[in-house]
Each structure stands twice: as structure tokens, then as C-alpha cells.
Chains A and B, each alone.
Chain A
Amino acid sequence: NAGVTQTPKFRILKIGQSMTLQCTQDMNHNYMYWYRQDPGMGLKLIYYSVGAGITDKGEVPNGYNVSRSTTEDFPLRLELAAPSQTSVYFCASSYSRAGNEQYFGPGTRLTVT
């Protein structure tokens, strides 16, 4: 199993551009999450999903959108990128109920200039 994969690994965006961060898991996990990690700060939850077709906001959802059309994929969309969205983004998944062990992807380092 590949686990949780994310693409791209690195990306530089200009202010106002849009992009989609891809996340795929092959463990048949119901729960998937998007986090951002800023220097000196703990991970912050952006959006999460408890299954295909069901998504909900986390702590810091502004400026982002998600969709979950399949169990495997949970893309994160940035519209009109802003410098404040410069961060490292992690996708994670877990099986069954919330609170279970999470499996993290390798991260995407995004810079908005």
C-alpha cells in the first residue's frame, strides 16, 4: 500500500492564482483531513470528510474548498491565493470513527508571492 499520497510536493503561486492540492489514500479509510502547518504553530484543521459526499469545515477554512467524490480522493482547492496561505499542507486519513490513529501524507510546501 502506498498509504496517503500528496501532489505536488512543492509549488510557488502568484497572488490571485488558483490551484488544487491532490490527496489520495489506498487504505479504504472513511475519514480524511486537510491541515496546514505554519512555523512555530501547531497543525490547524482546514476541512475534513467523514465519507464520500460529506465534507465539513475545520478551524481555518476561509480561502479553501474541498470535495470528496470518492473514498480515495480528497482534493483541496485554493481560489485567489494570498500570501497568508503560504504554508505546508498535510493530508491525513483514519479508519472508522474520529479520534483514531491518523496516517499522514508527505506534505505540500506552498509559497504564495
Chain B
Amino acid sequence: KNEVEQSPQNLTAQEGEFITINCSYSVGISALHWLQQHPGGGIVSLFMLSSGKKKHGRLIATINIQEKHSSLHITASHPRDSAVYICAVSRSGNQFYFGTGTSLTVIP
């Protein structure tokens, strides 16, 4: 069993829709990270959070430490949001565990 599980694996949405990607983890963590991987392969860090909620533009990330669960929301989705979204957790001792990613396609 993976330490980090994401759902759904694949997601197709119409432009303008509200999108939610979920992440569950099974280990104690120091922080949770949301990453974006573009079709060209580059990986960009979107959020790092250890409690509560963060917002950046149309992206919102939340975490519930007690439930070991995080969500990434995209409001007013746009085709340029099409990418793979990866959840990762960091632990003490330089350990990072990554989910397998959620592939999002936003159709115009």
C-alpha cells in the first residue's frame, strides 16, 4: 500500500467547472505538498502546507491533519490547468513520499 493515495487518477472537466482532487496519507508528516507537472514534464511546486488552507489565484489547498487528508481545488477551470497534479508528503529524516498523480484535462 502506498503511503500517499490520490483520487481520482484521471479527471476530465469542462472549462469553468469547479475541480477537486483528493489526497490521503497514512504516515505522520511535517508538511504536505501539491505539485503540478505539465505535459512537457516540468514539475512546479504549488503549495506546501502543514495546517489549514492556502489560496493562490484560482487554486485552493486544504489539509485536515486529524483525518490525514488534503484537497486541491481549482475554481473556474481553464484548459491551461490541464496537467498532472501530484500530492507529496514530507517527514522528518528527509523522507518524501509521492502520490502517483491525478491527470486533469480541461476541455474548452
- Using a CB–CB cutoff of 8 Å, the interface residues on chain A facing chain B are 31, 33, 40-45, 48, 50, 56, 88, 90, 92, 98-104, 106-107, 109
Given contacts A103-B45, A104-B43, A104-B44, contact A42 B2 (CB under 8 A): yes
Contact across chains for A90 and B94 when beta carbons are under 8 A apart: no
Task: Give the chain B neighbours of A45 by CB distance below 8 A.
Answer: 95-96
Contact across chains for B48 and A101 when beta carbons are under 8 A apart: yes
Contact across chains for A40 and B100 when beta carbons are under 8 A apart: yes
Size category of the B interface is: 20 to 34
B35-49: contact bitstring with A at CB < 8 Å (1 yes, 0 no)? 100000111110010
Interchain nearest-CB distance for A87 vs B (Å): 12
Nearest to B29 among chain A residues (CB) is: A99
Contact across chains for A42 and B98 when beta carbons are under 8 A apart: yes
Q: Which of B45, B92, B98 contacts A43 (CB 8 A)?
A: B98
Tell me the bound Cα distance from A45 to B94 in angstroms.
Answer: 10
Task: Give the chain B neighbours of A40 by CB distance below 8 A.
Answer: 100
Contact across chains for B90 and A98 when beta carbons are under 8 A apart: yes
B3-43: contact bitstring with A at CB < 8 Å (1 yes, 0 no)? 01000000000000000000000000011010100000111
Chain B binding surface, main DSSP class: strand
Task: Give the chain A neighbours of B97 by CB distance below 8 A.
Answer: 42
Contact across chains for A98 and B48 when beta carbons are under 8 A apart: no
B86 in contact (CB, < 8 A): yes
Task: Give the chain B neighbours of A100 by CB distance below 8 A.
Answer: 31, 48
B108 in contact (CB, < 8 A): no
Contact across chains for A42 and B99 when beta carbons are under 8 A apart: yes
Tell me the bound Cα distance from A101 to B49 in angstroms.
Answer: 10
Contact across chains for B45 and A42 when beta carbons are under 8 A apart: no
B52 in contact (CB, < 8 A): no
Contact across chains for B93 and A98 when beta carbons are under 8 A apart: yes
Given contacts A31-B94, A43-B86, A50-B94, contact A106 B31 (CB under 8 A): no
